Amino acid sequence: MRETDDKLRRLAYLDAMGIQVWQGRDVVPVDEPDLAEDVRAGAIQGAVAGTACGAMPDLPTWEMLQGQVAACQQCDLYRQRTQAVFGVGSRQAQWLIVGEAPGADEDRQGEPFVGRAGQLLNLMLQAIGLSREEVYIANIVKCRPPNNRDPRQEEMAACSVYLKAQIQLIQPRIILAVGRVAAHHLLHTQQKVGALRGQSHRYGETDIPVVVTYHPAYLLRSPQEKRKAWEDLLFARQLLTQ
């Protein structure tokens, strides 16, 4: 009974996302087995050392890190921010969702992905049975770039130490990079999102798999691509069961 309810709920989320699911011969696998509650591997060893930019040799506590981000003036973005947007979710999350940078809504509310793109991200997560509360959501850059421009290299470099520390603290089992900016920064590549999808990449020198998908803001402009994003999430979820 619970399985049926779950399936119906996921179908409803997919419907809300604008993804039509046909039942029948081409049934879309909405109800694969739940993810095993694996013991979380200590895979992150060396994550900070393994990637470029920034120096934070000792792992800070969450409180220290949050304080550092709130007071950060390492690049010019602090001048126009309402507040830094640290990250949200479970500190024990298996999934880390990484976006680009806060927009106007996030800058105002102090939380990542709370605008329209965030609402779609919530639906995407729910469609694979994940709530926003059980994942962790963070951005490459913690302060809003003016006029929603892309973050600059020097801004990402200045901020990367914070995401690195968040990854070390959380030790996620998977990282979902949403959009080009996050994918390029995490994977040190310039390849298009379309070419990066469908593969299990690695974060730095660690064993943490990185899956790339489209940014929900892009999906709002190109709803015909939502199905691909859903496939990416299913692919990521499948990686966790291996």
Sequence-distant (≥ 6) Cβ neighbours of residue 202 within 8 angstroms: 208, 209, 210
Q: Are 97 and 153 in contact (CB under 8 A)?
A: no
Single out the residue of 47, 100, 158, 226 in contact with ligand URA (rule: CB under 6 A): 100
Q: To the nearest whole angstrom, how small is the minimum distance from the Cβ of residue 103 to ligand URA?
A: 5
Which residues is 136 bridged to in the sheet?
Answer: 89, 96
Q: To the nearest whole angstrom, how small is the minimum distance from the Cβ of residue 99 to ligand URA?
A: 3
Dist CA 141 CA 99 (whole Å): 9
Single out the residue of 30, 117, 128, 143 in contact with ligand URA (rule: CB under 6 A): 117
Listed ranges 18-26, 100-108, 158-166, 220-228: which one lies at the site for ligand URA (CB under 6 A): 100-108
Single out the residue of 95, 113, 203, 230 in contact with ligand URA (rule: CB under 6 A): 113
Dist CA 29 CA 7 (whole Å): 10
State which of positions 158-187 bind ligand URA (CB under 6 A).
none
State which of positions 60-99 bind ligand URA (CB under 6 A).
99
Question: What is the pattern of x (binds ligand URA, CB under 6 A) and - over residues 187-226?
Answer: ------------------------------x---------
Q: To the nearest whole angstrom, how small is the minimum distance from the Cβ of residue 72 to ligand URA?
A: 16
Q: Is 139 among the residues that bind ligand URA (CB under 6 A)?
A: yes
Which residue is at the shortest CB distance from ligand URA? 99
Single out the residue of 89, 112, 129, 145 in contact with ligand URA (rule: CB under 6 A): 112
Helix then strand then coil, in percent of the chain rounded to 5, is 45, 10, 45
Q: Are 172 and 136 in contact (CB under 8 A)?
A: yes
Question: What is the pattern of x (binds ligand URA, CB under 6 A) and - over residues 19-48?
Answer: ------------------------------
Nearest alpha carbon to residue 159 among 103, 100, 76, 75: 75
Torsional sign, CA 60, 62, 67, 68: positive
Instruction: Count H helices and E strands in the chain, helices first.
Output: 10, 6
In what order do the strands lie in the sheet containing 95-99? 88-89, 136-139, 95-99, 174-178, 209-213, 201-202
What end-to-end distance do the CA atoms of the chain give, in Å? Answer: 27
Q: Is 103 among the residues that bind ligand URA (CB under 6 A)?
A: yes
Closer residue to ligand URA in complex, CB, 41/104: 104
Q: To the nearest whole angstrom, how small is the minimum distance from the Cβ of residue 17 to ligand URA?
A: 17
- Two structure tokens written together for 151: 């973050």
Would you tell me which residues interact with ligand URA (CB under 6 A)? 99-103, 106, 112-113, 117-118, 139, 217
